[in-house]
């Protein structure tokens, strides 16, 4: 058995960083080369070892539904809340644009036409709800 000697002391003539790096190289063994690490082990005559089967982790499907995918018409979608495939139910709600158009019609004294923006779906926001659980999914705003 070979005797174990203490690590060499740091030299005072070198910079602290250089001396520390050299000292660490002396203490740290170098990793094996690629050929040594990938060389095949000695042949064995026994049966091949097979890993024990493990239970596969549960796969969860996440449905990300950004608000920009909704359009002015009902659409088929998987609800992120009840996870059913269903056609969305839409409802039209007036927005500030609808009220602005009605105000402009009033300013031009077209009182009989004030109700038109509230009757035309293209002047309002479209809100989408799940057809199964009736949960709010998102809205479509016309530009």
Q: What is the pLDDT of residue 70?
A: 87
What strands, in cross-sheet order, belong to the sheet with 89-93? Answer: 89-93, 125-129, 136-140
The helices-and-strands tally (H runs, E runs) of the chain is 4, 5
User: How far lies 96's CA from each of 103, 104, 141, 142, in Å?
Assistant: 10, 12, 11, 12
Whole-model pTM? Answer: 0.49
Q: What is the pLDDT of residue 141?
A: 87
Q: How many CA atoms lie within 13 A of 72 on its CB side?
A: 9
* Domain positions in the chain: 72-140
Which tokens hold the place of 94? 């007036």
Per-residue pLDDT tens, the chain, 143 aa: give them. Answer: 666 666 555 555 555 666 556 656 555 666 777 777 676 555 555 556 666 666 666 665 545 555 458 888 999 999 999 999 999 999 999 999 999 999 999 999 999 999 999 998 888 999 999 999 999 999 998 87
Q: What is the pLDDT of residue 69?
A: 84
Q: What is the pLDDT of residue 35?
A: 74
Dihedral angle computed from the Cα positions of residues 117, 118, 122 and 126, in that order, rounded to the nearest 10 degrees: 150
């Amino acid at each position: 058995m070979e005797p174990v000697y203490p690590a060499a002391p740091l030299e005072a003539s070198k910079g602290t960083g250089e001396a520390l790096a050299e000292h660490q190289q002396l203490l740290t063994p170098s990793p094996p080369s690629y050929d040594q690490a990938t060389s095949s082990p000695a042949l064995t005559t026994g049966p091949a070892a097979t890993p024990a089967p493990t239970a596969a982790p549960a796969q969860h499907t996440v449905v990300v539904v950004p608000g920009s995918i909704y359009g002015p018409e009902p659409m088929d979608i998987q609800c992120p809340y009840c996870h059913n495939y269903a056609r969305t139910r839409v409802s039209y709600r007036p927005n500030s644009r609808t009220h602005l158009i009605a105000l402009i019609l009033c300013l031009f004294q077209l009182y009989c036409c004030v109700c038109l923006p509230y009757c035309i779906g293209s002047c309002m926001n479209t809100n989408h709800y799940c057809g199964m659980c009736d949960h709010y999914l998102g809205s479509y705003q016309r530009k």
